[in-house]
Amino acid sequence: MPRLILILNFWVLLFCSANAHEVRPAYLSIAEDSTAEFTVIWKQPILDGKRLRIEPIFPEICIKSNSKRSIENSTVIEKFNLKCGLIKGEIVISGLEQTMTDVIIKIDYLSGKRNTSLIKPNEPKFILGTKTSIIDNNYLSIGIDHILRGWDHLLFIIGLVLLINRRQILGVATAFTIAHSLTLGLAAFSIINLPSQPVEILIAMSIVLLGVEIMRKKSGVTSISSKHPYIIALMIGLIHGCGFAGALADIGLPKGMELFSLLLFNLGVELGQFAIIGLTILTLTILARVSNNLRKNFEIILTYGISSIGMFWVIERVSDYII
């Protein structure tokens, strides 16, 4: 019983968090224009209508100038120039320790060297001059972090588990993986370039569609997804892949290691994805052992929760796109 209560509490917290907002990382892009002169772009998400109280603090010798601020796609964007070497010292993200948000830092030097790092609230600083390999650059961690904080992607994965029978779930998940890996790769190498807002709207609509399909199945109606689960997973996976590409668009890929970095990012996404599939199946299995009716009621709550949150996102994202 304590295990059951713990699991149910986890799912309540999951849906409360998803309904509140999608946790998105902040991005700090630093590009060297000439010796000791940099252009800095600082992007931070707006959560619950408010800008997070976090900001990058550079070494004291750095001089900041030409600061301009704008708001795009629920993101505050500040662009400014920085004059200093950025060779030694550290960049501290002030206030990060009081949030659940990560910060992705990317520094491009004239020499062609690129440093990319994922900064977390428990250690909100980046030490300049640190030698990093592609593994140290955290592309695997960034991929895991992106899927686990991307509530729209998570809800779709959970919905797939509810819609597809156990014998098909791995095959359907693989089809979804192949599809979003394809568009992720094409977008990462700039072969395709779709505007982010329409893509995000389509992703939200796919969640609503999935919720409706689950309801139809539970009502005994043969749905399109039940007849052709692999085709549906492939089609929607293509859309979600464009959404994953948005994370890579901000941090970029290191020169000469693009393919390997992309594979690491994609592997991170898949690890997070299969962890959620496993957790969902485990939860349903435990509930079924306690009471089959309890499992069925839990599935109904999940289904309505997925559909409701998906519809909320559709309205929110369409409103942001139109206004």
Digit-coded pLDDT (tens) for 235-264: 888 988 887 776 666 666 666 677 887 888
Asked if the structure places residue 6 within a domain, the reply is: no
Among the listed residues 139, 121, 160, the one whose alpha carbon sits nearest the alpha carbon of residue 273: 160
Q: Are 168 and 49 within one domain?
A: no
Structure tokens that stand for 92 in this block = 């501290």
Instruction: Say yes or no to pLDDT of 186 above 80.
Output: yes
DSSP assignment of 45-98: EEETTEE-S-EEE--TT-EEEEEEEEEETTEEEEEEEEES--SSSEEEEETGGG
**What average pLDDT score do residues 314-319 get?**
87
Asked if the structure places residue 10 within a domain, the reply is: no
Which 3 state secondary structure label does DSSP give 112? coil
Contact 91, 105 (CB under 8 A): yes
pLDDT at 11: 52
**What average pLDDT score do residues 139-148 get?**
78
Structure tokens that stand for 145 in this block = 């972090």
Q: Which of 132, 166, 200 marks a domain boundary?
A: 132
Side-chain half-sphere exposure of 91, counting CA atoms within 13 A: 29
Structure tokens that stand for 247 in this block = 């994370």
Q: What percent of the chain has pLDDT over 90?
A: 9
Confidence band for 21, pLDDT divided at 50, 70 and 90: very low
Q: Are 185 and 206 within one domain?
A: yes
Asked if the structure places residue 137 within a domain, the reply is: no
Confidence band for 20, pLDDT divided at 50, 70 and 90: very low
Instruction: Say yes or no to pLDDT of 135 above 60.
Output: no
Confidence band for 58, pLDDT divided at 50, 70 and 90: very high
Q: Are 280 and 148 within one domain?
A: yes
Q: Are 128 and 155 within one domain?
A: no
Q: Which of 115-119, 239-243, 275-279, 309-313 has the lowest mean pLDDT?
A: 115-119
Q: Are 188 and 313 within one domain?
A: yes
Mean pLDDT of the chain: 80
Asked if the structure places residue 289 within a domain, the reply is: yes
The tens digit of pLDDT for each residue in 66-118 reads 999 888 766 788 999 999 888 888 999 999 988 878 888 888 888 878 777 87
Asked if the structure places residue 312 within a domain, the reply is: yes
Q: What percent of the chain has pLDDT over 70?
A: 84
Q: Are 116 and 162 within one domain?
A: no
The residue segments making up the domain with residue 45 are: 26-132
Q: Which of 92, 108, 132 marks a domain boundary?
A: 132
Structure tokens that stand for 77 in this block = 């964007």
Regarding pTM above 0.75, the answer is no
**What average pLDDT score do residues 7-15 get?**
50
